Amino acid sequence: MASVREVSGFTEDLLCPICLSLFREPRVLECGHSFCATCLEPCVPVGQQHGLCPECRCCFALSSVATNWALRSLAEKARLLKLDDGDPAGGGGRWYFCAEHEEPLKLFCSQDKGPVCVICRDLPQHRGHDFLPIKNAVQQYQDKLTASLAPLTEHLNSAREVQRRQQENLAELESCAQDLLGYISKEFEALHQILREQEEGMKEAVTSLEEENREEMEERLKELDEEVASRCETLSRVQAEIDPADPVAFLRGIKELMRRVRKDQQGHSAEEDDGSEEDEESDSDAASSEEEEEGVEDENFVAVDPALEKFEDLVHFEAWQEMLQSIHADTDHNWV
């Protein structure tokens, strides 16, 4: 006598691969696979005479499809034996058996939330539990699932709405960031332009001061070159006339030489000597006085314009840097 597992395996061989129920009017194809006549109809396009096998995809012709009489007979006998009604869950003829007792799983334990057989029901571990027939349990949970459809749909719609808003916020964020980046670039370009203009203005001011100062210095240097040349000539003539070879010639030129010496010592044009002894003594005294004051006359040269030396202090670069750094620090603080 066949065991319940063998019966289950026999029943599964009589199930259509498409509808998973016992065959009804089974048709066998050229490839050897069988299907219910109604299940095979969608495999042939409307108006055509050929189709593809649902299992192996081999082409078949409607004219070559024949009734599988043996399979039909076995399916009818299985149906008469109500083997297709043994599926507790209504699975189209597929039986499920208890792994321990090899009995059909016909009951559902409400406490353990699982299907059991009639032997399991009487075991101590299920004592005091509530049981339902499989079909009733299926219907009960189907009703619960059906009742949950509305709130699940509501929750799904709510989540989709939040999702939609999040997507809008993301798009708004990207737009806001791009606008802000553009604004920052524009405003910093304006600041760069102001800084470039300030830089050019300062450079022009420094260059102008330098040119003016250089012009004064070069003019003064030219005068000093002439003065040095004149003093060198005077010194050379004095050195040459100190020990004269011809006294008469020496005295004839002494007036001009003394005038030149006096001019050199005083640093400006002196009045012509009238030849008197008093003037010569006066000249001698003046020369002596000038010699005493030699080396203490004021430095008469053009110095670097103080405006250039103080220019760096006037522009306050450090103050600007501190201001920019404070702005950067405030920005970091506000955005963190």
Percent of the chain with pLDDT over 90: 30
In tens, the pLDDT along 310-325 reads 777 777 777 777 877 7
Residue boundaries of the structural domains of the chain: 1-96, 164-294+302-329
Side by side, the strands of the sheet bearing 131-133 are 114-116, 107-109, 131-133
In tens, the pLDDT along 192-208 reads 999 899 889 888 988 99
The predicted structure's pLDDT at residue 88: 44
Q: How confident is the model at residue 115 (pLDDT cuts 50, 70, 90)?
A: very high
Is the sign of the CA dihedral 248, 251, 257, 261 positive or negative? Answer: positive
Q: Are 217 and 225 in contact (CB under 8 A)?
A: no
Q: How confident is the model at residue 95 (pLDDT cuts 50, 70, 90)?
A: low
The DSSP result for 164-221, as a single string, is: HHHHHHHHHHHHHHHHHHHHHHHHHHHHHHHHHHHHHHHHHHHHHHHHHHHHHHHHHH
CATH topology of domain 1-96: Herpes Virus-1 (3.30.40)
**Looking up tokens 């059909």, which residue turns up?**
104
Higher local confidence (pLDDT), 307 or 177: 177
Angle between helix 277-292 and 254-266 (nearest 10): 30
What is the value of pTM for the model shown?
0.42
Mean pLDDT along residues 256-261: 85
Characterise 210 by phi-psi region: left (phi > 0), alpha (psi -120 to 50), beta (else). Answer: alpha
Residue 112's Cβ-side half-sphere holds a number of Cα atoms within 13 Å equal to 15
Q: How confident is the model at residue 13 (pLDDT cuts 50, 70, 90)?
A: confident
The predicted structure's pLDDT at residue 320: 75
What would the two tokens of residue 107 be? 């009951």
d(CA 255, CA 260): 9
Mean pLDDT along residues 242-256: 80
Q: How confident is the model at residue 5 (pLDDT cuts 50, 70, 90)?
A: low
